[in-house]
Homo-oligomer: A and B are copies of this chain.
Amino acid sequence: MADQIIVNDVGPRDGLQNQARVLSPDQRVQLVKALLAAGVRYVEVGAFVSPKAVPAMAGAADVLAGLRDEDGEFSVLIPNQKGYELARDAGARAVGMVLYATDGMAQANVRMSREQANEATEAILERAREEGISVMATISVSFECPFDGPVDPGIVHATAERFLQQGVDRFIVADTIGAANPRQVSAMMREMVARHGAERLGCHFHDTRAMGLANIYAAVEAGVRYFDASIGGLGGCPFAPGASGNVATEDAVMMLEQMGLVTGVDLPRLLDAANLARELTGTAPGGRATPWMQRHFARAANA
């Protein structure tokens, strides 16, 4: 069981929110179903945000409705109390919220201080616990911030302590701009696992500087067993300059499986989902190892 890894695909939310082409709720349901067919059980399927601010996420309730009969662990991003209520009323069982390791990023993203964002999230966390809804808190720019520079790891540790004590279901350390190196990740996550155990921890890496897989490896060896990734490498962050490229789910799954860990994901079917993401968006870059995978599976099919 220690070698089981949860891969949470954030493509249908984090991946799609910046695309030039806006997908309909039906198309987003189709993408999530392709991920489920490949064995990905955890998917971030949308966000309850203003459809004016983020048109790509309009109709999140329709996405949830379209997935009502599917077997999977679906979460939705919410920015505030109103988003929480909309998500709850649409039947969401898990919500994701964003915390900030710096004031600069909190201001750029939600026009709050870091501490104001912490408090807003605490208020929602309390309601969600009363109402039986799971909460995942992701702390953004955990290693480096495009506005405030290098981040004191003590801030990330203090925030983890605070929210894990208050009963958050998962605390996710995010390298929002893909700036972390694997030594930093190793130090941060070893300390965090030592203090809290790995069960409620997770990591979220971007591949901006090509260190995404190295960082996943470092976190795995530190004990982390939950990773965000994005099908086809879709995504980025609209408010963080230079934050292109979530780690592609297919790259992460390939490496983890090859290392002997168990993701439950079927790679050829995952490539089908990546192809669908490319068809639908016109832009999904695909994993960095995709050319190798395509040759490999073509040979296997011909053998």
In whole Å, how far is A148's beta carbon from the nearest beta carbon of chain B?
Answer: 15
**Does A217 sit within 8 A of B, measured CB to CB?**
yes
**Does A54 sit within 8 A of B, measured CB to CB?**
no
Output the nearest chain B residue to A256 by Cβ-Cβ distance. Answer: B181
Tell me the chain A residues, 214-245 only, with Cβ under 8 Å from chain B: 214, 216-218, 242, 244
A292 and B214 within 8 A (CB): no
For chain A, the bracket of interface size reads 20 to 34
A181 and B292 within 8 A (CB): no
A254 and B182 within 8 A (CB): no
A259 and B183 within 8 A (CB): yes
Output the nearest chain B residue to A290 by Cβ-Cβ distance. Answer: B210
In whole Å, how far is A145's beta carbon from the nearest beta carbon of chain B?
Answer: 15
B181 and A287 within 8 A (CB): no
A211 — which chain B residues lie within 8 A by C-beta? 213, 255, 289
Partner among B183, B214, B244 whose Cβ is within 8 Å of the Cβ of A214 = B214
In whole Å, how far is A276's beta carbon from the nearest beta carbon of chain B?
Answer: 21
In whole Å, how far is A254's beta carbon from the nearest beta carbon of chain B?
Answer: 7
Output the nearest chain B residue to A252 by Cβ-Cβ distance. Answer: B210
A209 and B242 within 8 A (CB): no
Of A207, A213, A255, A296, most B-chain CB atoms within 10 Å: A213
Cα A251 to Cα B183 with chains together (Å): 16
Cα A156 to Cα B287 with chains together (Å): 31
Partner among B207, B214, B217, B244 whose Cβ is within 8 Å of the Cβ of A255 = B214
**Does A295 sit within 8 A of B, measured CB to CB?**
yes
**Does A258 sit within 8 A of B, measured CB to CB?**
yes
Tell me the chain A residues, 77-97 only, with Cβ under 8 Å from chain B: none
Tell me the chain A residues, 273-303 only, with Cβ under 8 Å from chain B: 287-289, 291-292, 295-296
A208 and B292 within 8 A (CB): yes
Cα A255 to Cα B260 with chains together (Å): 25
Cα A225 to Cα B27 with chains together (Å): 49
Cα A183 to Cα B288 with chains together (Å): 19
Partner among B178, B208, B254 whose Cβ is within 8 Å of the Cβ of A209 = B254
| Other A-B pairs beyond A217-B217, A242-B295, 9, CB < 8 Å | A181-B255, A183-B217, A209-B254, A209-B258, A210-B289, A211-B289, A214-B216, A214-B255, A288-B288
